Chains A and B, each alone.
Chain A
Amino acid sequence: MAHTATALDTFPKYLLRNAEQFGSRPAMRHKDYGIWQTWTWRQQLDEIRAFALGLLELGFERGDKVAVVGANRPRLYWTFTAVQSLGGIPVPVYADAVAEEMAYVLDHAGVRFAVAQDQEQVDKLLSFADQIPALTDIIYDEKRGLRDYRSEALHDFEEVQAKGRALIERDPSAAKNWEDGIRSASGDDVSVMLYTSGTTGRSKGVMIRAASAVQAAFDTVKFDDLTERDSVLAYLPLAWVGDHYLNYAQGYVAGFCMNCPESQQTVPQDLREIGPTFYFAPPRVFEGLLTSVTIRMEDAGRFKKWIFRTFTEVARKYGEAILEKRPVPLTGRLAYALGEILLYGPLKNVLGLSKIRVAYTAGEAIGADLFSFFRSLGINLKQLYGQTEAFLYVTCQKDGEVRSDTVGPPAPNVDIRISEGGEVQFRSPGMFVGYYKEPEKTAEAMTPDGYVKTGDAGFFDTDGQLKIIDRAKDVGKLRDGSLFAPKYIENTLKFFPNIKEAVAFGDGRDFAAVFINIDLTAVGNWAERNNIAYASYQELAGHPRVYEMIARNVDETNRRLSQEPAMAGAQIRRFLILHKELDADDGELTRTQKVRRSFIAERYGELIEALYDGSSEKFVSTEVTFEDGRKGRISATVKIAEANIYGGAHASPVREAAE
């Protein structure tokens, strides 16, 4: 065990400790020229020291801010520590941000230096450098294509390090002074400034205090028992809190090795070669993995298909129980052991997940089947809930107490409460000190008694796990006062493969009702197998047997909702299947495929009224935009169906009126 009893209070202090304690263990790997290049902690210390002293030679002063722009590269990670060791603040920036966004962040943060990965990023920086008076020097990692750039302000990373090394040659006390500086640094300094991705308005600079950052990482490292023998693949965006926390912060505190992939496209291969023990991916990555496996099995021979079907069934029955060390009959254990040899082992190996001890997913809801599939293979996949303002963790699930529909109990030393309005609020060791230069926004995000408002609505389940249901501002109430969380209802519906999109209504109404979009691929496939002929989406969507099928899904959704005391009041009473697919070209979805609720409410106002006035069908005519920009109209008579509701909800007069 490598845990020290108490946490140090800055990351550079951990660098010194790790170089001493795990000096010859790998700290960093990067695949370059087809080979994994390795740096030990001692070598990493040497690289960082050279760069830090080189920065001093360039005139770096305490408190200077340094933008870090690029993909996951050792030198960019070293920049974090080097800057922190000099009392500066690193500001990682999303590398794929367009010039204008990047300029805003750099200007707002007032960065003096920028460390960029390559020519592409340097070009972007140079395109707006003259608008940012504070920015004096740009340092680049890869010199390719930059040979002919003649500028005093441009420096090669290696040359900066060479300056640092020359300084040590000249004046050996420089190295000692640097280490003394680290040892005497205060944990009260800001360790890093992480800009929010800016999906809702302008990016804000979230300031994280060094001691808080370290303390948070210290707690979760202990929670998941991470040690210097663990390893991660650092492939998430550098500027995202998840990467900075899971890889950098936990890496320094636990002393484990960070592996940087060769390029974004080689991540799957690199994952297989490294076989990390700790892994994070958003749900869509797991979904993609499962889809690729399923597609390959479709093309496999009959014997392989049989093995796959048989043993996924065995895994479904016993896998999670074995993972959670619950009692399992001997026959089940034997079958699972055989499956491990024939299927699970090879499959995990192909996916690069053989050595996983702890894996997390977060960010959006994950389907129960998807979640169970990976867990049943013996992968300890868990959920966490977090945000930048918390320096990631707010809740996380304990080994053995994992569910797909909750995000777990509060993380170690985190205090969570649910406000009057149903909003999740927290206080945590890693919580931010404020938004940079925006005290009024900081005040908005906090309660007077020092809790951070997440903006998410949720509640604690009976077993103490937090359940996130929606954005707080979207949650409403039915007329009878029951809670109405549209996204929760929509997500529950969307986990059925036949349902592609759903839009729920109910705020201020008597009951909840939904629009449904069927998934043309899934339902079309089903129709083919069942000899149902159809000529268009519209025809298929209106088919009585499709209605029957969707009604069963809605029924199951209601049954699930009825089991949640907080949700049971807002079961779906009536639904309809839309005659056209919701489309970003028509403004119904955002470009990232999120439903634009208010726009849809306006556009299909007649249909919403029909849901509530008891009619059984409604004629509508809607304008659509084709891919080539032409406009047309789609008209249809849309049927409205009733759904069964389950115990707990009040009796329904509306239903009788409709019949």
Chain B
Amino acid sequence: MNPRPSPAQFAGADDGIAKGDVLLKVDNVSLSFGGVKAITDISFDIRKGEIRAIIGPNGAGKTSMLNVINGFYTPQVGTITFRGEERRAMKPHHAVRQGIARTFQNVALFKGMTTLENIMAGRSVLMKRNIFWQMLWHGPALKEEIEHREKVEEIIDFLEIEHIRRTPVGKLPYGLQKRVELGRALAMEPSLLLLDEPMAGMNLEEKEDMSRFIIDVNQQRGTTIALIEHDMGVVMDLSDRVVVLDYGKKIADGVPDVVKNDQAVIDAYLGVAH
């Protein structure tokens, strides 16, 4: 018979945190590069199972914030608590092992490799056999590869990219590349997914598709998502809660309807003399 994977298999990594509890907490974080203050004394949290947006005008410190969360930058002041573990300095690959995956503002894929290979690459962190076993490609390594391939095929099916499975990514249009990148991040089975402008440079139809995939990832796979986005309409529709940054400071935090009508936010977006 032909068992289909049940949706339960999609559930994010089980980390003992109940839905709605705090998954990641940022406390009084400040980050500066020399004399430039990128982030000043910011605190907010991300709850398990939500879609959390970080918005703000250009140069507000959104990407810096994302880089702090996934360990690329180490803040001078403040702490980050992820799944109850407090830390300040961490390397990005530790973040991956902890269950944080991300996509980038500019697509960062292996252009010469196929969609399948790119998404498979996302699984490498989860592979247990070392490189020698993998080169032998026999016995346990082969079995492991097959298991990983099954997971990857689920993602390909999920993102509806069957038809480009064997196409080199460099040949794909931009919107599809973004989708493949999301696929690679999903392949890591993250409990927190960071999306840096997932819809930058997309046309309306591609934006709608991407929004649907983000919602599906969140609802069906139970993945917590933090995203940065410029398109206000998209942000307000997608996210459960929004934090607004301006000049490295937090100026608002709350559900979309509240944030939308916040005077400080309106000023920041319309531009008021500082």
A34 with B220, Cβ < 8 A, contacts A39-B2, A143-B7, A147-B7 known: no
Please tell me if A35 contacts chain B, counting CB pairs below 8 Å.
yes
Q: CB-CB < 8 A to B160: which residues of A?
A: 263
A145 with B216, Cβ < 8 A, contacts A32-B157, A43-B1, A262-B162 known: yes
Q: Which residue on A lies nearest to B152, using beta carbons?
A: A34
Q: CB-CB < 8 A to A34: which residues of B?
A: 149, 153, 156, 162, 165
Verify A263–B153 contact, CB threshold 8 A. Answer: no
Please tell me if A4 contacts chain B, counting CB pairs below 8 Å.
no
Please tell me if B219 contacts chain A, counting CB pairs below 8 Å.
yes
Q: Which residue on B lies nearest to A74, using beta carbons?
A: B2
Q: CB-CB < 8 A to B166: which residues of A?
A: 269
Q: Which residue on B lies nearest to A39, using beta carbons?
A: B2
Verify B2–A265 contact, CB threshold 8 A. Answer: no
Q: CB-CB < 8 A to A269: which residues of B?
A: 163, 166
Please tell me if B144 contacts chain A, counting CB pairs below 8 Å.
no
Chain A's nearest CB lies how many Å from the CB of B27?
35
Verify A147–B163 contact, CB threshold 8 A. Answer: no
Bits for A15-39, please: 1 = Cβ < 8 Å to B, else 0: 0000000000000000011110111
- Residues A250-289 near B (CB distance < 8 A): 262-263, 265-266, 269
Cβ-Cβ contact count across A and B, 8 Å cutoff: 40
Q: CB-CB < 8 A to A263: which residues of B?
A: 160, 162-163
Q: CB-CB < 8 A to A148: which residues of B?
A: 219
Q: CB-CB < 8 A to A38: which residues of B?
A: 2
Chain B's nearest CB lies how many Å from the CB of A492?
38
Verify B162–A147 contact, CB threshold 8 A. Answer: no
Please tell me if B150 contacts chain A, counting CB pairs below 8 Å.
yes
Verify A33–B150 contact, CB threshold 8 A. Answer: yes
Q: How far is the CA of A388 from the CA of B68 in the complex (A)?
A: 65
Verify A33–B163 contact, CB threshold 8 A. Answer: no
Chain A's nearest CB lies how many Å from the CB of B82?
28
Q: How many residues of A contact B (CB 8 A)?
A: 18
Q: How far is the CA of A383 from the CA of B153 in the complex (A)?
A: 39
Chain A's nearest CB lies how many Å from the CB of B58?
34
Residue of B150, B163, B220 touching A265 (CB-CB under 8 A): B163
Chain B's nearest CB lies how many Å from the CB of A34?
4
A147 with B216, Cβ < 8 A, contacts A34-B153, A43-B1 known: no
Q: How far is the CA of A148 from the CA of B5 in the complex (A)?
A: 19
Verify B219–A265 contact, CB threshold 8 A. Answer: no
Residue of A43, A144, A145, A265 touching B162 (CB-CB under 8 A): A265
Q: How far is the CA of A43 from the CA of B2 in the complex (A)?
A: 10
Verify A266–B220 contact, CB threshold 8 A. Answer: no
Q: How far is the CA of A148 from the CA of B220 in the complex (A)?
A: 10
Q: Which residue on B lies nearest to A261, using beta carbons?
A: B162
Q: How far is the CA of A39 from the CA of B1 in the complex (A)?
A: 7
Q: Which of B2, B4, B7, B158 has the most CB of A within 10 A?
A: B2
- Residues B211-229 near A (CB distance < 8 A): 216, 219-220
Please tell me if B154 contacts chain A, counting CB pairs below 8 Å.
yes
A144 with B2, Cβ < 8 A, contacts A33-B150, A34-B162, A266-B162 known: no
- Residues B1-31 near A (CB distance < 8 A): 1-2, 4-5, 7
Q: CB-CB < 8 A to B153: which residues of A?
A: 33-35
Chain B's nearest CB lies how many Å from the CB of A435?
38
A147 with B157, Cβ < 8 A, contacts A34-B162, A34-B165, A263-B163 known: no
Q: How far is the CA of A34 from the CA of B114 in the complex (A)?
A: 14
Q: Which residue on B lies nearest to A264, using beta carbons?
A: B163
- Residues B54-98 near A (CB distance < 8 A): none
Q: How far is the CA of A34 from the CA of B153 in the complex (A)?
A: 6
Residue of B2, B4, B7, B163 touching A266 (CB-CB under 8 A): B163
Chain B's nearest CB lies how many Å from the CB of A166?
17
Chain A's nearest CB lies how many Å from the CB of B17?
22
Q: Which residue on A lies nearest to B166, using beta carbons?
A: A269
A147 with B2, Cβ < 8 A, contacts A32-B157, A33-B154 known: no
Q: CB-CB < 8 A to A262: which residues of B?
A: 162-163
Q: How far is the CA of A34 from the CA of B163 in the complex (A)?
A: 10
Verify A33–B157 contact, CB threshold 8 A. Answer: yes
- Residues B122-162 near A (CB distance < 8 A): 149-150, 153-154, 156-158, 160, 162
Q: CB-CB < 8 A to A265: which residues of B?
A: 162-163
Verify B162–A37 contact, CB threshold 8 A. Answer: no
Q: CB-CB < 8 A to A145: which residues of B?
A: 216, 220
Chain A's nearest CB lies how many Å from the CB of B187?
14
Verify B216–A144 contact, CB threshold 8 A. Answer: yes
Q: CB-CB < 8 A to B2: which residues of A?
A: 32, 37-39
Q: Which residue on B lies nearest to A158, using beta carbons?
A: B4
Q: Which residue on A lies nearest to B149, using beta carbons?
A: A34
Q: Which of B156, B162, B216, B219 has the most CB of A within 10 A?
A: B162
Q: Which of A32, A33, A269 has the most CB of B within 10 A?
A: A33
Chain A's nearest CB lies how many Å from the CB of B220?
7
Chain B's nearest CB lies how many Å from the CB of A571?
48
Q: CB-CB < 8 A to A32: which residues of B?
A: 2, 4, 157
Q: How far is the CA of A147 from the CA of B150 in the complex (A)?
A: 23
Verify B150–A144 contact, CB threshold 8 A. Answer: no
Q: CB-CB < 8 A to B216: which residues of A?
A: 144-145
Q: How far is the CA of A511 from the CA of B5 in the complex (A)?
A: 69
A144 with B1, Cβ < 8 A, contacts A33-B157, A263-B163 known: no
Q: Which residue on A lies nearest to B116, using beta carbons?
A: A34
Q: CB-CB < 8 A to B149: which residues of A?
A: 34
Q: How far is the CA of A35 from the CA of B5 in the complex (A)?
A: 14
Q: CB-CB < 8 A to B220: which residues of A?
A: 144-145, 147
Q: How far is the CA of A39 from the CA of B3 in the complex (A)?
A: 12
- Residues A34-68 near B (CB distance < 8 A): 34-35, 37-39, 43
- Residues B148-197 near A (CB distance < 8 A): 149-150, 153-154, 156-158, 160, 162-163, 165-166
Residue of A33, A35, A43, A147 touching B219 (CB-CB under 8 A): A147
Q: How far is the CA of A35 from the CA of B146 in the complex (A)?
A: 12
Q: How far is the CA of A43 from the CA of B1 in the complex (A)?
A: 7
Chain A's nearest CB lies how many Å from the CB of B124?
19
Q: Which of B149, B154, B160, B163 has the most CB of A within 10 A?
A: B163
Chain A's nearest CB lies how many Å from the CB of B176?
11
Q: How far is the CA of A574 from the CA of B158 in the complex (A)?
A: 60
Q: CB-CB < 8 A to A33: which residues of B?
A: 5, 150, 153-154, 156-157
Chain A's nearest CB lies how many Å from the CB of B151?
10
Q: How far is the CA of A144 from the CA of B212 in the complex (A)?
A: 12
Q: CB-CB < 8 A to B154: which residues of A?
A: 33
Q: CB-CB < 8 A to A143: which residues of B?
A: 7
Chain B's nearest CB lies how many Å from the CB of A23?
15
Q: CB-CB < 8 A to B5: which residues of A?
A: 33
Q: How far is the CA of A171 from the CA of B4 in the complex (A)?
A: 27
Q: How far is the CA of A43 from the CA of B220 in the complex (A)?
A: 30
Q: CB-CB < 8 A to B150: which residues of A?
A: 33
Chain B's nearest CB lies how many Å from the CB of A352?
15
Chain B's nearest CB lies how many Å from the CB of A277?
24
Q: Which of B154, B157, B160, B219 has the most CB of A within 10 A?
A: B157
Q: Which residue on A lies nearest to B155, using beta carbons?
A: A33
Q: How far is the CA of A145 from the CA of B154 in the complex (A)?
A: 15
Q: How far is the CA of A360 from the CA of B40 in the complex (A)?
A: 71
Q: How far is the CA of A220 from the CA of B4 in the complex (A)?
A: 36
Q: How far is the CA of A266 from the CA of B163 in the complex (A)?
A: 5
Q: Which residue on A lies nearest to B215, using beta carbons?
A: A145
Q: Can you report 17 residue pairs joining A to B where beta carbons are below 8 Å apart?
A: A32-B4, A34-B156, A34-B162, A34-B165, A37-B2, A38-B2, A39-B2, A143-B7, A144-B216, A147-B219, A148-B219, A262-B162, A263-B163, A265-B162, A266-B163, A269-B163, A269-B166
Taking A32-B4, A33-B157, A265-B163 as known contacts, 13 extra A-B pairs with beta carbons closer than 8 A to each other, sorted by chain A number, are A33-B150, A33-B153, A34-B149, A34-B162, A35-B153, A38-B2, A144-B216, A144-B220, A145-B220, A147-B7, A147-B219, A266-B162, A266-B163
A contact set with B: CB distance below 8 Å: 32-35, 37-39, 43, 143-145, 147-148, 262-263, 265-266, 269
9 closest A-B pairs (Cβ-Cβ)? A265-B163, A33-B153, A34-B153, A37-B2, A266-B163, A262-B162, A263-B162, A266-B162, A33-B157
